[in-house]
Amino acid sequence: MSKPKSMPPPGFSTIGLMLDRRLYCEEVGTEFDVQGLELDWAGVCWDADFRYGNGIWNSWRFHGTRWQQVNTAEGRLHLKNAYRVILTRARQGMIVYVPKGADEDPTRPPAYYDQTYEFLKQCGLRELA
């Protein structure tokens, strides 16, 4: 059984997961690690750094103990492209994981994830039981 390599540091939220044939996590990689790769299957963990709300995408970064909005056009484009790279790596299939959030954690309330989750479902992603 393959064990995951080290996880990215806290606050580094854009992650792509590469799975081996036995469906164990083989690699964890950022957009830089997976750029140019073609994976059979991929799992993507969506975090609160790229949120859909009120009909638009919003870019955030976690700094210190709270989220701060990304205000530069270049920063917003970088984050959007990071998700684009990760979401276009899988050839056969992909699982997108959107956390539920936690009311007891002010850095990840459910409201940060709910509209993104609903938008992805409207785009055709199916919910797995």
- Checking if the pLDDT of 58 tops 80, the result is yes
Query: Looking at the domain assignment, is residue 30 inside a domain?
Result: yes
Query: Looking at the domain assignment, is residue 62 inside a domain?
Result: yes
Rounded Cα gap, residues 91 and 103, in angstroms: 36
Domain region containing 57: 15-122
Tally of structural domains, the chain: 1
- CA angle 122/32/90 to nearest 5° reads 45
Rounded Cα gap, residues 28 and 18, in angstroms: 6
Q: Could you tell me which residue, 11 or 93, shows the higher pLDDT?
A: 93
**pTM here?**
0.73
Query: Looking at the domain assignment, is residue 9 inside a domain?
Result: no
Rounded Cα gap, residues 105 and 10, in angstroms: 15
Query: Looking at the domain assignment, is residue 83 inside a domain?
Result: yes
**pLDDT the model gives residue 7:** 47
Query: Looking at the domain assignment, is residue 24 inside a domain?
Result: yes
**Alpha helix positions (H), the chain:** 31-34, 73-87, 111-122
